[in-house]
Amino acid sequence: MPLDGNNNFQQTLHPMLPKPSLEEAERQSFAKSLRGYIQKAILPDLEPVYQARAAKRFEKETGHSPRDRHEIRKTMVKEPYFQAYAALNRIAQELLWLSVIESIDRQYDQLSATAKSLANKVGSYKVDRAFTPPNYVTALDIHCMPGGYAQNTGDDIEFAAGALYDRGVYLYSMGYGGPFNDDKGRSVVNYIKRNLKEFAPKTILDMGCAIGHSTLPYKELFPDAKVFAIDVTEPLVTYAHLRAAGLGVDITYEQRNAEDTGYPDASFDLVVSHILLHETSGKALPRVLKECHRLLKPGGYMIHADLPPFANMTEFMRFILDNETYYNAEPFWGAMREMNLVDLSAKAGFPKDKIMMTTAPMAIREFAGRAKGYDSGIVDQLAKREFKAGEFAPGAGWEVLIAQKETA
Amino acid sequence: MARARKMTRVVRGKRPMFFDDITEDLSVSMIMVLAQELSVLRARLDAVEGATLAKGLLSETEIAEFADREDTLANGEKARQDLFSRLFYLVHQQAAEATGGDTSTRYADVIADITKT
Ligand SMILES: C[S@@+](CC[C@H](N)C(=O)[O-])C[C@H]1O[C@@H](n2cnc3c(N)ncnc32)[C@H](O)[C@@H]1O
């Protein structure tokens, strides 16, 4: 039964996922539902309030209406309704992470023992304690995850930051990504299967895989392919491996930098990433594209799923989206959306007529009936809804950059 | 026994404050934690009541299992969304006033007007 936009989507457990107690589960649901409420009931009035009050005030003070997202911000930060929205949004984010940290700390020893029993059981992983993650990953705790992607808890098998990410991101995305939070990977694979029919990659690389949410669908839907996935921090790569091992999926996870992976030229048929680019930097992003070109075999494809660019958006939408830059420790979020990824791909060596930006439809409908809470009525409502800037995930799909390397 | 506090709770990246007075930011964060705990209490009670009705006899696992049932989860989600709409009544009032042009000037005008007419 549809619940007026409410959802009680539940993440599917696997051996490495911290299992919340009744109280922890409720604290986590509270944070997830609070996000849902803010997006459903507080966000929609921001623009009307802006038009009715903040824009007029700005005009009175300066003699002109706000010209860009920065001027909109200037006046909105003084608007009590916006203050309440932004404060609640930030607090929801803080409560979300804290509610998961609590749960991991309580089960730490048990999870650590599970990690030992799962390591190298299925697939493999390689980490290197001498490896330094790039500054843009460690300078701030991205999306306010306490300790960041590289937090070290001093364990032989560093898993904790990965566990925090696994559960936290599921709550952050309010379950829209499905019971395994694999919607982004699934959407891109679906896109390939529907639009690049002849293409059957045998070697696949997933860059910036975090804990492998998006990686697993590649192995599921291309079972004969050898799937590699890389990230820059030890706990993420380690946990990604443990999670896949617990789920019985054969992936090779390695701690490597997407700017300079160290793999030989022409190693892969397909190189993908999912919400990696907006967490890199102005200098790193073009390097990642160049590296993709180098790594691809002739005729191979590079596909990056990320956030829609600012072009073709209203200034107010840009302002809303840019909140993440300022209030959620996403330093490259706004700047990345101003970059022209098509031009940069051409500069990276891809033939101009083989580059495009398009939408890979969300796979949300496929989750109906697959796990607790994924009721077909609610899933349907979600798939059909109109997207508002500031909501999690676009309604229609993921923005993808696709480029094919020249054939030999 | 669980190890206490293996993981940090502190976020690196200066936390922005949103209200004109920092004490407001602090208060709202505390109020939200209290609201969260209220929600925890409600969840616990729901589970106990539900299990009592359904089983008659209680055990710790029975209660936990009951809380994890799909209908309990759905009721919990509805209860939380209802709580939020009560919790943020004033936030919504602000939006309605801003878009409806209901200002203190209008209020004063009404007083003046009513006094006069
Ligand atoms: C938002 S997460 C990606 C989520 C993941 N791809 C998924 O779909 O679930 C971004 C990841 O990119 C990683 N990252 C950032 N810069 C990188 C680089 N130069 N090389 C490899 N990984 C990088 C970060 O460590 C982080 O784990």
Structure ipTM:
0.76
Task: Pick B3's closest partner by Cβ from A23, A92, A108.
Answer: A108
* Total length of chain B: 117
Q: How far apart are CA A159 and CA A113, in angstroms?
A: 11
- A136: number of Cβ within 10 Å: 18
Q: Assess if residue A42 is contained within a domain.
A: no
The answer to whether B7 contacts A33, with C-beta atoms less than 8 Å apart, is no
Q: Which of A194, A208, A13 is nearest to A186 (CA)?
A: A194
Taking the CA of residue A148 and the nearest CA in chain B, the distance in Å comes to 8
Binning pLDDT at 50, 70 and 90, where does residue A1 land? Answer: very low
pLDDT at A262: 98
Binning pLDDT at 50, 70 and 90, where does residue B1 land? Answer: very low
For chain B, percent of residues with pLDDT exceeding 90? 15
Q: Which residue has the higher pLDDT, A347 or B45?
A: A347
Closest ligand 1 atom to A150 CA = 25
Q: What is the dihedral of CA B54, B58, B63, B64, to 10 degrees?
A: -130
Q: Which residue has the higher pLDDT, B79 or A133?
A: A133
Expressed as residue numbers, the domain containing A184 is 169-404
Query: In total, how many domains does chain A have?
Result: 1
Q: What is the mean pLDDT of residues A2-29?
A: 85
Q: Which of A68, A118, A90, A15 is nearest to A326 (CA)?
A: A90
Q: Does residue A3 have a pLDDT over 50?
A: no
Binning pLDDT at 50, 70 and 90, where does residue B96 land? Answer: confident
Binning pLDDT at 50, 70 and 90, where does residue A108 land? Answer: very high
Q: Does residue A327 have a pLDDT over 50?
A: yes
C-alpha dist (Å) from residue A282 to A136, A285, A387, A407: 10, 6, 28, 29
CA neighbours closer than 13 Å in the CB half-sphere of residue A252 = 8
Task: Find the CATH number of the domain harbouring A230.
Answer: 3.40.50.150
Cross-strand partners of A270: A204, A301
C-alpha dist (Å) from residue A291 to A21, A219, A229, A408, B95: 44, 23, 15, 18, 49
The answer to whether A147 contacts B3, with C-beta atoms less than 8 Å apart, is no
Look up the pTM and report it.
0.91
Q: Assess if residue A25 is contained within a domain.
A: no
Q: Which residue has the higher pLDDT, A172 or A3?
A: A172
pLDDT at A393: 63
Q: Does residue A187 have a pLDDT over 50?
A: yes
- Of A134-148, A271-285, B68-82, the poorest mean pLDDT is in B68-82
Q: What is the dihedral of CA A186, A188, A193, A194, to 10 degrees?
A: 110
pLDDT at B2: 45
pLDDT at A394: 53
Q: Does residue B3 have a pLDDT over 70?
A: no
Q: What is the mean pLDDT of residues A277-299?
A: 97
Q: Assess if residue A63 is contained within a domain.
A: no
Q: Assess if residue A175 is contained within a domain.
A: yes
| Under 8 Å between Cβ of A72 and A315 | yes
Mutate to test the pocket of ligand 1, among A137, A166, A283 (most ligand atoms within 8 A of CB): A137
Q: Does residue A126 have a pLDDT over 80?
A: yes
